[in-house]
Amino acid sequence: MKKPVSYDHSKIEKKWQSAWKKSGIYKTSEASKKPKSYILDMFPYPSGSGLHVGHPKGYIATDVLARFKRMSGFNVLHPMGWDAFGLPAEEFALKNKIHPSIAVKKNVKRYKEQLSVLGFCYDWDREVNTTDPEYYKWTQWAFLQMHKKGLTYESHEPINWCPSCKTGLANEDLDNGKCERCGSIVEKKPIRQWVIKITDYADRLLKDLDALNWPNSIKESQKNWIGRSEGSELTFKIKNSEESISVFTTRPDTIFGVTYLVLAPESHLVEKLKPQIKNWYKVQSFIKDVAKKTQIERTAEGKEKTGVHLDGVFAINPANDEEVPVWIADYVLADYGTGAVMAVPAHDERDFVFAKKYNLPIKEVIEPVYTKTTGPDAFREGVPYKERHAAVCVIKHWSEDKYLCLDWKKNNWHGFVVGGIESLETAVDAGIREIAEETGYTNLRFVKELGGPIHAKFYQLLKEQNRFAHFHGMYFELVDDSRKEISEGEKAIHDINWVSKQEVMDYLNVDDMKLTWARFLGVEKAYVGSGIITNSGKFNGKDSESIMSEITKFCGGKTVVRYKLRDWVFSRQRYWGEPIPLVHCEKCGVVPVPEKELPLKLPNVKFYEPTGTGESPLAKIDKWVNTKCPNCKGKAKRETNTMPQWAGSCWYYLRYMDPKNKKMLVDPKKEKYWSPVDVYVGGTEHATRHLIYARFWHKFLYDIGVVSQSEPFTQLKNQGLIMGPDGQKMSKRFGNVVNPDDVVKLYGADSLRVYEMFMGPFEQAISWSTDNMIGSRRFIERVWRLKNKVVKKATLKKETETLLHKTIKKVGEDIQDFAHNTAISTMMILLNALETEENVDTKTYETLLLLLAPFTPHLADELWSQMGHKKSIHIESWPICDETKLVNDSFKITIQVNGKFRGVLETNNSEEAFVLNASKKKHEIQKHLEGKEIIKQIYVKNRLVNFVVKG
């Protein structure tokens, strides 16, 4: 007997990788009548350390999908390239004393070798590299188009400056106020830089998110980052000055409550107001101190806010001409809104804390309104309501520090004594009367009112009507326990409880009652909700939400939309990046480099260390910098800032469609065929950088007719991290990096592929365990050994045959849903069943290989070849599920036409659509339906079908 050949993964995997490369089976062409499927990975930044086992997770998933789609009859584009400009490569080069271009070539070669051994089906003929001049020529070209359209501008505003990386950063490059790259605390520093008006596209970036098949968390991240706010822009003139302060607010209804204004310490207006500021040295010292703080330190919730009064400076409130003091404070940022805030401490928590700290006035202009929205006593919108003024009575015990509270039985309210104020009755009189009626206590004294009215909308269950109540808080103290008998009716409505002072707030369950108690305790806080206008002149008594436009107009303001999103700082003061194709001419100003001169190549230099002065190392290269103006031919200087790392990654997916085109960014026909990307896979960390930048860049190209779709990526999938064996993120710093080369050498690429897809749900983070690789390896070896049971023909158990078709169906569905772990689990279950069979027929075994092919491409092709096939399994068709075999036991269904018996359908599929369709196809039924209109189809599950026909 011949000894079974063992599974030698090293020999088999090298064999098939060589065969695939030689045959070119993964090359993609547009000359196909098949439907297209564009499956894309976020291309890697090739670092010097190479891949660790966490990196391939997303690549394996897209490879599985690409192979499945190709076998399912699609023309698949599945490319790979390199995002190789930017700080990481430059820092690596500086550290290792090697030129960035040499380092990048070395790193790319290493990455490509590591990816190749994993058996990916990339079309390497479409490989792109952002550092290739023939690639970045079109990055520069796109920038020039934006420049022509007025989307770029030169700025000298303070930007995020990383003192360690010695370069400017966009807001998107920060992590809690620190440089995302190196972790250094970022400073604000005025630097000359180029900026792109991404905010011009903010509305479209926001609106178009809704149509994308992206994870909700990513869409929410983008929405929050874009941060659209509708509000009003109001102008406060400066007393005895030509200057004015413009503020943006979403609450113009509170303008009569402004008691001070706040400017950002960096505001240019502060310098302009210097002659009026009597305490300039104190102000100047504060500005220097604030410059040392991070944005997070300045704005984080709970952080103490500090400021300085601009002594001698007053702003004029446009609503009432009142003079209000002007401050600078660390919690106001120059690059957010207008860099100024109108402070309404009564109705803004941050302003309230600041006002209390510096003893500034607090003026209430919104009386609170609480609307009950849940429960049986919820206010019923659209139903008439009764308006009523009422007294709310806080009542102290005569000898203990306890307070009288009521439990309303029907309403389930826990609160104080409350009752309506009758005509010609004061609130105090009403309180005394209600206390006697509801509790029986008669000997009491009135102490004080508890602030202005509190309003509430609710459904009064006792009266069975909507109420709009206006509560007036009163504080009473009982003199003694004198008490009269209360009626049975009152006893039925509520119970009386005496509650300690410490427990009252927890006892209360009605918002207006809680506010009344807070006022009694003297616990002041801002009311930030809507309500009824007060202390606001002609607007008094109006609903605050209804007067936004009216009060804005009254103050001479305008309704505007603002965004948290800032314009994109597009300059880096470093060497390793795309040169910005502009020149500076003393006579002509800023002039674009002619398109015919693109690419403007990065000069090859020996020294490329950052200067730290705010200028790029390119500024020192006189031969490169000094040039002629394209317009006047006079002396000019090249722009020496380079583009950020994110420039090249904004459009790389388009270049994959047409990577060798020297005449245009992408051929319109090829773009129209392949666009948009059908499935895009990458990490969640790119939600507010690459994905926003790429969407903006794409929309601009759409506007100028380069692309045919307004969005680049239809579906987005995010892979969860593979953590180190210690549960931490894999990093050389933690010493927990696992090299995929070692794993492949020991267990094989197919085992690694199966393990990473089987670890858990695709989006879930999970820790690596090399020991668990053994299970994946054993699964592969079992498939290998199963071929020893294969015969040309064999009869499977009925349940095994059913399981086979269930597996075909589920694996196909799971691959498309990125449920790879359950797809593999399903195949394992099928393998278990096949191993119990005496023999397995060739067709069944080959079906198993076809299902495995996307996951274990080397194993599948080897076994397919051993089954006698000359062509690769990866150009075969995906197996078809026989729906009739999905159920073990068949049953008979009676078929009727107009209630008369006409035939029987025997099936094991009870799905209505299948049963109706199969019944119509039966020969004996067709003759009764031919030429007639079916006006009704009746299906009694597993028993009866009746076609009601006319004609």
List pLDDT tens digits, range 708-763: 999 999 999 999 999 999 888 887 777 888 999 999 999 999 999 999 999 999 99
Q: Determine the average pLDDT of the residues in 756-777.
A: 94
Q: Specify the long-range contacts of residues 20-27, CB closer than 8 Å, at least 24 apart.
A: 20/121, 20/872, 20/874, 23/872, 25/872, 25/874, 25/875, 26/78, 26/121, 26/122, 26/123, 27/123, 27/125
For the chain, what is the radius of gyration of the CA atoms? 37
- Spatial separation of the C-alpha atoms in residues 878 and 776, rounded to whole Å: 23
777 vs 189: which has the higher pLDDT: 777
Tell whether the model's pLDDT for residue 348 goes beyond 80: yes
Tell whether the model's pLDDT for residue 950 goes beyond 80: yes
Alpha helix segments (H runs only) across 504-595: 504-507, 511-521, 548-554
Question: Which range, of 272-286, 579-593, 914-928, averages the lowest pLDDT?
Answer: 914-928
User: How would you classify the pairing of strands 454-460 and 366-371?
Assistant: parallel
pLDDT of residue 875: 96
Q: Determine the average pLDDT of the residues in 467-488.
A: 94
Mean pLDDT of the chain: 92
List pLDDT tens digits, range 605-615: 877 787 777 78
Residue 613 makes CB contacts below 8 A (sequence gap 6+) with none
- Spatial separation of the C-alpha atoms in residues 810 and 817, rounded to whole Å: 10
Helices vs. strands in the chain: H and E counts, helices first: 29, 43
Q: Please check whether residue 528 is in contact with residue 251, taking contact to mean a CB–CB distance below 8 angstroms.
A: no
Q: Determine the average pLDDT of the residues in 913-928.
A: 89
What percentage of the chain exceeds 70 in pLDDT?
99
Tell whether the model's pLDDT for residue 268 goes beyond 80: yes
List pLDDT tens digits, range 791-846: 999 999 988 999 999 999 999 999 999 999 999 999 999 999 999 999 999 999 99
Task: Find which of 249-263, 360-374, 923-937 is predicted with most confidence, using mean pLDDT.
Answer: 249-263
pLDDT of residue 319: 97
Q: Which residues pair with 623 in a beta bridge?
A: none
**Confidence at 5, pLDDT banded by 50, 70, 90:** low
Which of 217, 28, 169, 5 lies closest to 657, judged by CA?
Answer: 28
Task: Find which of 178-192, 378-392, 721-735 is predicted with most confidence, using mean pLDDT.
Answer: 378-392
Tell the burial category of 30 from Cβ atoms under 10 Å away from its Cβ (0-12, 13-18, 19+). middle
Q: Which residues of 86-114 are buried (b: 16+ CB within 10 A; e: fewer)?
A: bbbbbbbbbeeeebbeebbbebbebbeeb
Q: Specify the long-range contacts of residues 203-210, CB closer than 8 Å, at least 24 apart.
A: 203/228, 203/561, 204/699, 204/710, 205/565, 205/692, 205/695, 205/696, 205/699, 208/695, 208/710, 208/711
pLDDT of residue 888: 58
Tokens 């995929």 locate to 740
Tell whether the model's pLDDT for residue 183 goes beyond 60: yes
pTM confidence score: 0.80
pLDDT of residue 640: 94
- Spatial separation of the C-alpha atoms in residues 503 and 520, rounded to whole Å: 14
Alpha helix segments (H runs only) across 710-748: 740-747
Q: Determine the average pLDDT of the residues in 625-648.
A: 95
Question: Which range, of 175-184, 331-340, 616-625, 820-829, averages the lowest pLDDT?
Answer: 175-184
pLDDT of residue 764: 93
Tell whether the model's pLDDT for residue 431 goes beyond 60: yes
pLDDT of residue 1: 31
Q: Determine the average pLDDT of the residues in 931-940.
A: 91
pLDDT of residue 2: 41
Residue 36 structure tokens: 């297209």
List pLDDT tens digits, range 47-87: 877 899 999 999 999 999 999 999 999 999 999 999 999 88
- Rounded to 10 deg, the angle between the 842-852 and 820-836 helix axes is 160
